Amino acid sequence: MTKNYTVAILGATGAVGTRLLSQLEQSEIPVGQIKLLASKRSAGKQLQFHDQSVVVEEATPASFDGVDIVLASAGGAVSKRLLPEAVKRGAVCVDNTSAFRMDPAVPLVVPEVNASALQKHQGIIANPNCSTIQMVAALKPIYDTAGLKQVVVSTYQAGSGAGQRAIQELDQQAQQHLDGQTMTSEIFPVKGAARHYPLAFNLLPQIDVFEPDGSTHEEWKMVHETKKILLDDMDATAIKVNATCVRVPVVIGHGESVYFEVAHPEKMNPTKMKEVLQQAPGVVVQDDPATQLYPQPINAAGTTATYVGRIRADLENQGGYNLWVVADNLLKGAAANTVAIAATLVKNQWL
Amino acid sequence: MTKNYTVAILGATGAVGTRLLSQLEQSEIPVGQIKLLASKRSAGKQLQFHDQSVVVEEATPASFDGVDIVLASAGGAVSKRLLPEAVKRGAVCVDNTSAFRMDPAVPLVVPEVNASALQKHQGIIANPNCSTIQMVAALKPIYDTAGLKQVVVSTYQAGSGAGQRAIQELDQQAQQHLDGQTMTSEIFPVKGAARHYPLAFNLLPQIDVFEPDGSTHEEWKMVHETKKILLDDMDATAIKVNATCVRVPVVIGHGESVYFEVAHPEKMNPTKMKEVLQQAPGVVVQDDPATQLYPQPINAAGTTATYVGRIRADLENQGGYNLWVVADNLLKGAAANTVAIAATLVKNQWL
């Protein structure tokens, strides 16, 4: 008899939380009972799970009694406080925040890339940053075929990465601009920052806070998460990674211009690259200059694949290649990957 | 006695043309007479030059009789047909199209970078592509100090680069999206292309047509124009250049994420880089993470400088650096640079 799981969603009312619920509905995880947890402010709201109306409860340590799986996306501070409580009560937690990503005891997983890392979990598994997930999904088959020496990525990240209210702010700013009014800003680039700037019809080269070295924390995450996922070591020097993260006035769907040098140029060419990408799980190749086919955020939104196009060799540098990678940052970059991790745990009985 | 020049603007009614007129008003060029030339369709329109109302005339070879300086921005085909006629009549032409840029007899000039190349002109001088101008303005002082081995650039290019009608289309698409309607597209990504896609709230990794090697012509231009300007040789191998060009839903102001390796790492560090950039003509450094100061398109629009920020060393690759470069693509990337070339010719009596 198949076991039915009690699943809790922590942060159920947010931009990612509501998508965790719909992804869970579509997953192969046999859900016996669902618990929707959020802050006191959101408690009492009702959300639909299949044909069942579920009341959102305030998250407390006791909420996790009897829970088998926690899917968390309520911010790093909440995860830090509550997930250890859930683990104490026997739950396995898949966390979409950055709270535990760099903990050596916590696997950082994109299932189609490094599912086997899940086997060593100790109760908490981390979902990588949205911009990292889609990049490693595209790079993994290339890394397996010809190795990687260096990656230089520039991101074009959608406003929804800053949360549900940020989506409304972007729309509001766009309407202000079209009406000839001054755009107002309270969230972008970073909610808690001292200064706010409009994103509509603009570009903001700041995502998350600045590190002492002049990079942003988002850039830091892309460098170190990529290494932890591909090399199982966040400080490894075997692959050099350089990231520039820019917020762009798109609602859903991150774009990435990824330049890289393979370690073994003789093992790779553009045709081969297209082949290994077409065979890669979770990757959809959209690449035909003749018909102007390439990934676009408005087409990726609402789907769970990683789209790759503009595949080409650097004619000036042997072993250098370019890719253009697009994915729905709220699904592939968050909810869908989180649920896919839980489904992999269930399928392999790794809970 | 100072000579007064007869100046003709070819393509006077376009997005760049109107800006050529205002830049000429503000320049030090002593203008005796102004002629505004355009297609038959635009003939008869009136534009203001200082306190004078000037009627736009249809451009024909005879229009250039008695003209000293032609500032051209009416498309490559028009330049190819009419500029040799202007030269025949004794005019010197500064061309903002791509018609003559790769002609070895035609200097390709950003005045603060390679003004001396103007001395060898034979009647036609080319204004580089918008995305190239702002990048070489930022890279030149670094190249002079520590050399350059490799440049990897990803652009974030504004919709206005596709012309006056494209600006209207972007606004219209944004309003359609906000009203919950399907976005319609007739111009983006490329006016004459078979397929059109919305730019509002989207990203289009195609600017200009595709080359046989899978790059776009915009990317090709950035590679070869950069070399012609910095090395005086479009095919030089001394600097490897790799470009990915993406159209973003911004009205005015291109952003560029520029990664590069200097040839002599011992001659450069981030402090030194900031110093040489601060001293560089035409460059304004906006770089202070503590106060969230970095270049943004909405601040650059309407100005003629090249803004540089996010200056940082690649901690994983000695000699590697990142810059974030923003400029008004219609002014610094077009009209202001074109008029600055003409002013340099006049000032040095190189006409």
Chain A residue with minimum CA distance to B322? A244
Rg (CA), chain A: 20
Contact yes or no for A205/A244 (Cβ under 8 A): yes
- Across the interface, which of A203, A241, A326 has its CB nearest the CB of B296? A203
- Across the interface, which of B203, B240, B317 has its CB nearest the CB of A297? B203
Chain A residue with minimum CA distance to B314? A242
Contact yes or no for B242/A317 (Cβ under 8 A): yes
String of DSSP letters for B267-278: G--HHHHHHHHH
A316: enclosing H helix or E strand? none
Q: Burial, B119: exposed, middle or buried (Cβ in 10 Å; 0-12, 13-18, 19+)?
A: exposed
Question: What angle, 0 to 180 degrees and rounded to 10, lies between the N-to-C axes of helices B130-146 and B217-231?
Answer: 40
Chain B residue with minimum CA distance to A311? B214
**CA–CA gap between residue B105 and residue B94 (Å, rounded):** 14
Question: Is B210 in contact with A255 (Cβ distance < 8 A)?
Answer: no
- The pLDDT assigned to B2 comes to 73
**B135 contacts on A by Cβ (under 8 Å):** none
Question: Is A249 in contact with B197 (Cβ distance < 8 A)?
Answer: no
**SS3 assignment, position B14:** coil
Structure tokens at B248: 């973003």
Domain covering A5-128+334-347 in this structure, CATH number? 3.40.50.720
For chain B, list residues with pLDDT below 50: none
Question: Is B322 in contact with A244 (Cβ distance < 8 A)?
Answer: yes
- Is there a binding annotation on residue B22? no
Q: Burial, B19: exposed, middle or buried (Cβ in 10 Å; 0-12, 13-18, 19+)?
A: buried
Give the best residue of A172, A203, A209 to mutate against chain B (max B CB count within 10 A). Answer: A203
Contact yes or no for A284/A307 (Cβ under 8 A): yes
Annotated binding-site residue numbers of A for NADP(+): 13-16, 41-42, 160-161, 329
Angstrom distances, CA of residue B183 to CA of A59, A160, B168, B179: 41, 20, 13, 10
- Is there a binding annotation on residue B176? no
**B206 contacts on A by Cβ (under 8 Å):** 292, 294
Question: Is A202 in contact with B297 (Cβ distance < 8 A)?
Answer: yes
- The pLDDT assigned to A3 comes to 87
Catalytic residues of B: 130, 254
Contact yes or no for B223/B150 (Cβ under 8 A): no
- The pLDDT assigned to A1 comes to 54
Rounded to a whole number of angstroms, the distance from the CA of B227 to the nearest CA of chain A is: 12
- The pLDDT assigned to B107 comes to 98
**A297 contacts on B by Cβ (under 8 Å):** 201-203
String of DSSP letters for B288-350: BGGGTB---HHHHTT---EEEEEEEE-TTSTTEEEEEEEE-TTIIIIIHHHHHHHHHHHHTT-
- Is there a binding annotation on residue B79? no
**Complex ipTM value:** 0.97
Give the best residue of A256, A257, A261, A315 to mutate against chain B (max B CB count within 10 A). Answer: A257
Q: What is the mean pLDDT of residues A102-131?
A: 97
**A197 contacts on B by Cβ (under 8 Å):** 292, 296, 298
Annotated binding-site residue numbers of A for substrate: 157, 247
**B224 contacts on A by Cβ (under 8 Å):** none
Rounded to a whole number of angstroms, the distance from the CA of B347 to the nearest CA of chain A is: 37
**B259 contacts on A by Cβ (under 8 Å):** 152, 154, 242, 244, 259
Q: pLDDT tens digits for A23-40?
A: 999 999 999 999 999 999
Q: What is the mean pLDDT of residues A279-287?
A: 98
Question: Is B156 in contact with A156 (Cβ distance < 8 A)?
Answer: yes
Chain B residue with minimum CA distance to A210? B289
Q: Does domain B132-329 have CATH number 3.30.360.10?
A: yes
3-state SS string for B79-144: HHHHHHHHHHCCCEEEECCCCCCCCCCCCECCHHHHHHHHHHCCCEEECCCHHHHHHHHHHHHHHH
- Is there a binding annotation on residue B14? yes
What value does the mean pLDDT of chain A take? 97
- Across the interface, which of B171, B203, B292 has its CB nearest the CB of A206? B292
Give the best residue of B257, B294, B308, B325 to mutate against chain A (max A CB count within 10 A). Answer: B257
**A154 contacts on B by Cβ (under 8 Å):** 154, 244, 257, 259
Catalytic residues of A: 130, 254
In chain A, where are the structural domains located? 5-128+334-347, 132-329
**CA–CA gap between residue A60 and residue B338 (Å, rounded):** 65
Give the best residue of B152, B181, B188 to mutate against chain A (max A CB count within 10 A). Answer: B152
Rounded to a whole number of angstroms, the distance from the CA of A31 to the nearest CA of chain B is: 35
Q: Beta strand A240-247 with A306-313: parallel, antiparallel or unpaired? A: unpaired
- The pLDDT assigned to A2 comes to 73
Q: List residues bridging with A38 in a β-sheet.
A: A58
**CA–CA gap between residue B297 and residue A271 (Å, rounded):** 38
Question: Is A203 in contact with B152 (Cβ distance < 8 A)?
Answer: no
**CA–CA gap between residue A312 and residue B244 (Å, rounded):** 10
Chain B residue with minimum CA distance to A213? B312
Rounded to a whole number of angstroms, the distance from the CA of B111 to the nearest CA of chain A is: 27
Chain A residue with minimum CA distance to B210? A289
- Across the interface, which of B197, B205, B310 has its CB nearest the CB of A310? B205
